[in-house]
Amino acid sequence: MPKLKPDTQRARREHILDAAELCFARSGFHATSMQDICREASVSPGALYVYFSSKEDLIAGIAERNRQEFQARFAQLAQATDFFVALEAIGNAYFVEDEPHCRQICLEIGLESTRNTTVGEIHRSVDEFVGSSFETLFQRMIDDGRIRPAHSAAALARVFMVIGDGLFWRSAVDRKFDMAKTIPDVVEVIRQLLNPVEDVASRRPTKPLGEAAE
């Protein structure tokens, strides 16, 4: 029965999760052994099993923490005053600021979600949150007359998710992928898709989008 100070307990749990995340990103969930994680965390098996009752539990813990953080980022989007600015911030955080191993873990979680019930529920919950957030957001923009209602909010959200998935997959799998070069073109696709009423003009002082060098 644990009696260590709750703060210390939580810190240690996080420490183990950090180590596990690194290992899982390096080798995948099922090619990583508990010993690997113990070594990475400088913790004995017995100690690890105080905080996680099984490997599956540890995987679920990783998924839980990762997806929660992801959801928290998106939650900000819904309250943002400027949709495009907020979206760029999220994209920048995920694709530029985050370590590569974060994207690797997201990939791992996505794949695992198709086979592991617990991870599946966590993943699906966040995915649906993101999807419905976009839909609500687009609906509001349509209602406010900020974008031309050429498509339903649901359709827009669907296509948006697909494009996001594409960037997500390629950034994780293709080491040669040049995100900086691709973003402007994708942004223009999104712009044409949303077709906002202010269109070309009036946006922040930025060079005309969609003209990637080369």
159: its two tokens:
């296509």
Q: What secondary structure does DSSP assign to 112-171, as a single string? A: HTTT-HHHHHHHHHHHHHHHHHHHHHHHHHHHTTSB--SS-HHHHHHHHHHHHHHHHHHH
Q: Kindly state the DSSP code that residue 90 receives in the 8-state scheme.
A: H
Give the x-and-dash track for 36-75 against DNA (CB under 7 A): x-----xxxxxx-xx--xxxx-------------------
Q: How many Cβ atoms are within 10 Å of 49's Cβ, its own excluded?
A: 16
**Which of the choices a second copy, DNA, none does residue 21 contact, using the CB cut-off of 5 to 8 A by kind?**
none
Cβ atoms of 116 and 124 closer than 8 Å:
no
Nearest to 74 by CA among 59, 60, 86, 92: 86
Dmax over CA atoms of the chain, in Å, equals 64
- Binding of residue 209 to a second copy (CB under 8 A): no
**Which of the choices DNA, a second copy, none does residue 3 contact, using the CB cut-off of 5 to 8 A by kind?**
DNA
- Binding of residue 5 to DNA (CB under 7 A): yes
| Secondary structure (3-state) at 23 | helix
The least CB distance from residue 137 to a second copy, in Å, is 17
* Contact residue for a second copy among 14, 57, 121, 174 (CB under 8 A): 174
Residues 164 and 167: their CA atoms lie apart, in Å, by 5
- Binding of residue 121 to a second copy (CB under 8 A): no
- Name residue 146's amino acid: R
**Which of the choices a second copy, DNA, none does residue 43 contact, using the CB cut-off of 5 to 8 A by kind?**
DNA
* Contact residue for DNA among 10, 14, 26, 35 (CB under 7 A): 35
The least CB distance from residue 21 to DNA, in Å, is 15
Interactions with DNA, residue window 142-161 (CB under 7 A): none
Residues contributing to the site for DNA (CB under 7 A): 1-5, 9, 12, 32-36, 42-47, 49-50, 53-56
Residues contributing to the site for a second copy (CB under 8 A): 26-28, 30-31, 104, 107-108, 110-111, 113-115, 127, 150-152, 154-156, 158-159, 161-170, 172-175, 178, 181-182, 185-186, 189, 192-193, 210-212, 214
